[in-house]
Chains A and B, each alone.
Chain A
Amino acid sequence: MALFSSLSERLNHIFSKLTKRGRLTELEIRQAMREVRIALLEADVNLKVAKNFIAEVSEKAVGQQVLASLNPAQQVIKIVNEELIALMGPGNVKLEVSSRLPTVIMMCGLQGAGKTTMCAKLAVQLKKQGKKPLLAACDIYRPAAIDQLKVVGAKAGAEMFEKGTQDPVKTAKQAVEYARKMGFDTVVIDTAGRLHIDEKLMQELENITKEVDVTEILLTVDSMTGQDAVNVAEAFNNRLSITGVILTKLDGDTRGGACLSIKAVTGKPIKFIGVGEKLTDLEPFYPDRMASRILGMGDVLTLIEKAQEAVTEQQAKELERKMRENSFTLTDYLMQFEALKKMGGAGALMNMLPGMGGKLKLREGDFDEKKIERIRAIILSMTRKERDNPQIINSSRKRRIALGSGTTIQDINQLLKQFEQTKQFMKQMKGGKGKRLPF
């Protein structure tokens, strides 16, 4: 997606400017946050929500220590990402069950959000949990809405209760009575799509909640919704005090910033996401996935995460010291390979790093598992002295190492040559404008 590359480019621009170590300064935060703000707005996060979020996070970020394995901009984004996850969480919130059966779930939302389809998806989910759901058709306005619920209900293997176009409040009440009598443990009420400013129809929903003991009121929202999501969510929540949110149509390519807006104004959990047209395409909500989707920095985030996992801060510091002093040894070389392996190979890593692609001439296969194993064996067959000073490795030592590691002398020559090249490369990096290895 074009958006992603431009974002990566912009970040790359910051990376190149901000290479200082130590604590995050206000200037660094401001520069990185400018990009984050645009990323959030382009993802449809509400302007007010985005501004407040950035103000809060900036405050938290001032003075934080920059991890050795990251640069300041990456560090800022790491904080942003963590805050986003915290705000949108917790994930995987289950549906409440009423102590007095049946549990009643009422759907609500704007027209075209996907309520009717979602009713059937919920029915499938409930049946999987061994429940017996009844679908109640309370959309009496949209032509053929009842037929639609009947068809998708049948596909889900759930019975539907309908009373034609009679008052939906009455139908809801009768559906619950019917469920109680017939042994259904859950009733899912499908309601008509309505505008949050439509007084008459909002009153109708309120009346249902007065007449029926509703356990869950789920606001169904199209994940492609823009700035208006806050108005919609706020109106429904103020009026009905919703218990949760369902985001639909996340199988598209929307960044889904509406999710953050809704969570920010309602504080209610996102219980499910719809990810396809099949009735089984319903998933629990994962705040971390949503955060990286909204930021649109999946590539950078993955890198940050992996760099963190692969090398401890201590190791990174040590490595950098050695680069500085040019005392990089074969032991360090091996450590680096192992870190790379954890990160999913050097190729993947270089692609994730904005602006790094192509700078290092790495051949495909340089880092395959077998090769790393062989390098490991060779280095471990050396004496400590040989690892620290490879220049002492003469041909008789090479023969011994080859024998010990089950390799050939050519393999050892190749390794030593690569090691020298890496050292050269590091020297260049050091000489260049303070560019650091990403690990």
Chain B
Amino acid sequence: MGFFGKIRDALKKTKESVSQKMRQLFLKNKIGDAFYDELEEILISADVSVRTAEEVVEQVKEEAIGNKIKDEGFVVDLLKDILEDTLNEAPMPEIKYPCVIMLVGVNGVGKTTTIGKIASWFVKNKKSVTVAAADTFRAAAIDQLNVWADRAKVRIVKHEEGSDPSAVVFDAVSSAKARGTDVLLIDTAGRLHVKENLMNELRKMDRVVEREYPEAHFYKFLVLDATTGQNAYTQARVFKEAVDLDGIVLTKLDGTAKGGFVFSLCGELRIPVVFAGVGEKIEDLEWFDAEQFVEGFF
């Protein structure tokens, strides 16, 4: 049992937040190589990719040495600023009306719940909203969205389970146009980015909106579960190639996961985070704020 025992003990001892780890780091080390190595590891243990962690720490190191900074507090501030800059490398989109917002993502990330929350967010901002139940694949997904639509008090356009999702999109667009709805939200079925046929289905829905509603501002948001690891990067890259993403909705931030992969998404793929899901209630959704996120990250 040697191996398991050791790890369990190690984890028990160090099951703590990033900020606690940072505090410990400062207690233990003077600024030096060991200090930076550990800084890198703290980032990695919050799901920041190995490459991004290396790059960020390298930057911190350079600036700290260049400015002869020896104080740990300064180093942390520097790190925070660099991380915030990384997030800001992808500018947030400005929402213009009338608009269509389509949520895409792999299975189980929280797309349907997020539609409910976003609908409620727009209603609170005095906009008229219609939701389209274009997840016609998962059992009871339409019923689930219906409940959220009721809670947010918005209209829903839906077909039978198993029907063509592009047809739902077509009808929803016609309806939104006819009524002059400010915001049309499209829920889509969860799909793993490696399934080419399902990605083609998504491209088709994308084309239907482009073709049928050219006057609307069309935003495509990828929903990502904060619990996800490095695969988030691949998901973002592949979905971006398929439908050209305008933003990311980061869900389940109320758990213990930090969603550190977003730094690579903003920095390398230039996709901004737009919304953050922070709980199970309908109002638990926030317009993303880079500074706050970085602050919360530590």
| Residues on the B chain within 8 Å of A228, using CB | 47, 227, 255-258
The number of residues on chain B lying at the interface, defined by a beta carbon within 8 Å of a beta carbon of chain A, is 54
Candidates B4, B15, B46, B138; contact of A267 at CB < 8 Å: B4
- For the A-B complex, the count of residue pairs with Cβ-Cβ distances under 8 Å equals 165
Q: Is B252 an interface residue (CB 8 A)?
A: yes
**Does B229 lie within 8 Å of A111, measured CB to CB?**
no
Contact check, B140 vs A227: say whether CB atoms are below 8 A apart.
Answer: no
A226 engages B144 (CB within 8 Å): no
Closest chain A CB from B221 CB (angstroms): 17
User: What separation, in Å, do the CA atoms of A307 and B292 have in the docked complex?
Assistant: 54
Q: Name B191's closest neighbour in chain A (CB-CB).
A: A277
What 0/1 pattern do residues 246 to 280 of A give for CB contact below 8 A with B? 00010111110110000011010000000001000
For the complex, what is the distance from the CA of A144 to the CA of B142, rounded to whole Å? Answer: 9
**A interface residues, how many (CB within 8 angstroms):** 55
Q: Which of chain B's residues have a CB closer than 8 A to the CB of A257? A: 229
Residues of A within 8 A of B227 (CB): 110, 222, 225-226, 228, 232
Q: How far is the CA of A111 from the CA of B8 in the complex (A)?
A: 25
How far does the Cβ of B104 sit from chain A's closest Cβ, in whole Å? 15
A48 at interface, CB cutoff 8 A: yes
Chain B residue nearest to A38 in the complex (CB): B50
- B8 contacts across to A, CB distance below 8 A: 234, 264-265
A53-B3, A197-B255 known; A227 and B47 CB under 8 Å? yes
Q: Select one of B44, B107, B144, B261 contacting A41, CB under 8 A.
A: B44
Report yes or no: A222 in contact with B225, Cβ–Cβ below 8 A. Answer: yes
Q: Which residue of A lies closest to B143 (CB)?
A: A144
When each residue 210-238 of chain A gets 1 if its CB lies under 8 Å from chain B and 0 otherwise, what string results? 00000000000010111111111010000
The interface bits of chain B over 34-72 (1 if a CB of A lies within 8 angstroms of the residue's CB, else 0) are 000000010011110110000000000000000000000
Q: Quick check: is B24 within 8 A (CB to CB) of the other chain?
A: no
Q: Find the A residue at minimum CB distance from B109.
A: A112
The docked-state distance in angstroms from the alpha carbon of A53 to that of B144 is 43
Query: Cβ of B108 and Cβ of A47 under 8 Å apart?
Result: no
What's the nearest-Cβ distance from chain A to residue B22, in Å? 15
For A264, list chain B residues within 8 Å (CB). Answer: 3-4, 7-8
Q: Is there an interface contact between A252 and B228, defined as CB atoms closer than 8 Å? A: no
- Please measure, in the bound complex, the distance between the C-alpha atom of A222 and the C-alpha atom of B110, giving whole angstroms: 13
A59 to chain B, nearest CB (A): 11
Residue pair B10, A48 in contact (C-beta under 8 Å): yes
- Using CB atoms, name the residue of chain B closest to A251: B192
CB neighbours of A251 from chain B (8 A) = 192, 194-195
Alpha-carbon separation in the docked complex, A253 to B280 (Å)? 29
Q: Is A437 part of the contact surface with B, judged by Cβ < 8 Å? A: no
> Is B256 touching A41 in the complex (CB atoms < 8 A)?
no
**Is B230 positioned at the interface, with any CB of A under 8 Å from its CB?**
yes
Closest to A115 in B: B108
B14 touches A48 (CB 8 A): yes
Question: Once the chains bind, are A147 and B256 in contact (CB under 8 Å)?
Answer: no
CB distance from A230 to the nearest CB of B (A): 6
In angstroms, Cα B107 to Cα A113, docked, is 8
A144 to B145, CA, bound (A): 9
Q: Say if the beta carbon of B6 comes within 8 Å of chain A.
A: yes
**B131-154 interface code vs A (CB 8 A; 1 in, 0 out):** 000000111110110111000000
- Does A195 interact with chain B (Cβ within 8 Å)? yes
Chain B interface SS verdict (over half): loop
Q: Judge if A152 is at the interface, Cβ distance under 8 Å.
A: yes
Complex-state Cα separation, A38 to B49, whole angstroms:
10
Q: Is the CB of B230 within 8 A of A144?
A: no
Tell me whether A226 and B11 are in contact (CB under 8 A).
Answer: no
B80 contacts the other chain (CB 8 A): no
Nearest Cβ on chain A to B158's Cβ, whole angstroms: 13
Structural contact, B7 and A52, CB atoms closer than 8 A: yes
Interface: B254 (CB within 8 A)? yes
Chain B residue at smallest Cβ distance from A234: B11
- Enumerate chain B residues within 8 angstroms of A56, measured Cβ to Cβ: 2-3, 6
A267 CA to B8 CA, complexed, in Å: 10
B187 nearest CB across to chain A (Å) = 13
One digit per residue, 1 when the CB lies within 8 angstroms of any chain B CB and 0 when it does not, for chain A 69-81 equals: 0000000000000
Residue contact B194 to A143, C-beta cutoff 8 Å: no
Residue of B1, B109, B280 with most partner-chain A CB within 10 A = B280
| Pick from A44, A52, A227: contact of B6, CB under 8 Å | A52
Instruction: Specify which chain B residues have a CB less than 8 angstroms from the CB of A249 in the assembled complex.
Output: 106-108, 192
Most central of B8, B50, B193 by chain A CB within 10 Å: B8
Contacts of B255 in A (CB 8 A): 110, 195-197, 228, 232
CA distance A155 to B140 in the complex (A): 13
Instruction: Decide if B231 is an interface residue (CB 8 Å cutoff).
Output: yes
Q: Which of A152, A225, A254 has the most CB of B within 10 A?
A: A254
For window 129-146 of A, CB contacts with B under 8 Å fall at 141-145
B210 to chain A, nearest CB (A): 27
- Collect the chain A residues with CB atoms within 8 Å of residue B261's CB: 226
Interchain CA distance A113-B232 in the complex, whole Å: 15
Bound: A258/B229 CA distance, A: 9
**Segment 72-126 of B: residues with Cβ below 8 Å from A:** 106-110
Residues of A within 8 A of B147 (CB): 143-144
Contact B46 A113 (CB under 8 A): no
Judge whether A43 and B139 touch: CB under 8 Å.
no
Q: Does A87 contact B (CB under 8 A)?
A: yes
CA gap between A243 and B41 in the complex, in Å: 32
Inter-subunit contact B229/A224 (CB<8 Å)? yes
Contact B49 A113 (CB under 8 A): no
Alpha-carbon distance A114/B148, docked complex (angstroms): 20
Contacts of B110 in A (CB 8 A): 111-112
CB pair B108 A222 closer than 8 Å: yes
| Listed A/B pairs (6) with beta-carbon separation below 8 Å | A56-B6, A147-B144, A226-B228, A231-B257, A251-B194, A252-B231
Interface residues of A (CB under 8 A from B): 38, 41-44, 46-49, 52-53, 56, 87, 110-114, 141-145, 147-148, 150-152, 155, 195-197, 222, 224-232, 234, 249, 251-255, 257-258, 264-265, 267, 277
> Given A114-B108, A150-B140, A264-B8, 4 more contacts at CB 8 Å?
A52-B3, A224-B231, A251-B195, A277-B137
Question: What are the 9 closest A-B residue pairs judged by CB atoms, nearest first?
Answer: A226-B229, A112-B108, A44-B229, A143-B147, A151-B139, A148-B140, A144-B143, A228-B257, A147-B140
A-contacting residues of B (Cβ < 8 Å)?
1-4, 6-8, 10-11, 14-15, 41, 44-47, 49-50, 106-110, 137-141, 143-144, 146-148, 161, 192-195, 225, 227-232, 234, 252, 254-258, 261, 280
